[in-house]
Amino acid sequence: MSVTSRARTALDIASRCRLGEAVAAIDALSRATDLKIADVELLAERYKGRRGIRRARRALSLVDAGAESPRETWLRLLLVRAGFPAPRTQIPVYDEYGQLVAALDMGWADIKLAVEYDGEHHWTSRRQFSRDIRRAEALADLGWVVVRITAEDTEGGVIARVSSAWERRV
């Protein structure tokens, strides 16, 4: 049975796949395992002349184990390509009693701006929908602006909405 290490698998993905696909796959690998990007970078250094190594290095620089889905990775990469500073992922927000209100998909805590990707379960599950309403109210009470994105949003629409929210916060 052929076996490969996590680092080697990540390097192979990063050097062979398109950038967005590679980052999403390695985000998931990082989240599911104890993959260390430094280990992959050391491996990349060993194979300097390998085909796709520059692409691999670019992909590795964008990996974030905080992404919980390929669409969250897509959204984060879109924001970075649009010129926003790299958002932090899985931002914990606590209320005045120290209770966790939310772990936001991504955003910028210093200006209290979050961007959330809402998958289908956010509107097909009545329980989740109700929980999202209470969560949104609590975040607003704590001064957060949350831009919610769905599969129906276009790239231009996402950038416009986040830009508008950014302007209100800075």
Which domains, ranges and CATH numbers included, belong to the chain? 6-65 (no CATH), 71-169 (3.40.960.10)
Q: Which of 9, 43, 3 is nearest to 25 (CA)?
A: 9
8 Å CB contact between 26 and 36? no
pLDDT of residue 119: 78
pLDDT at 127 over 90: no
In the chain, the amino acid numbered 45 is: E
Whether the predicted pLDDT of 122 surpasses 60:
no
Per-residue pLDDT tens for 48-104? Answer: 889 999 999 999 999 999 999 999 999 999 999 999 999 999 999 999 999 999 999
Give the pLDDT confidence score for residue 123 in this predicted structure. Answer: 60
| Separation CA 67–CA 65 (nearest Å) | 5
Residue 121 pLDDT class (50, 70, 90 cuts): low
Of the pLDDT bands very low, low, confident and very high (cuts 50, 70, 90), residue 124 is low
CA–CA gap between residue 83 and residue 14 (Å, rounded): 23
Handedness of CA 63, 64, 67, 72 (dihedral sign): negative
Give percent of the chain above pLDDT 90.
85
Longest Cα pair distance anywhere in the chain, in angstroms? 56
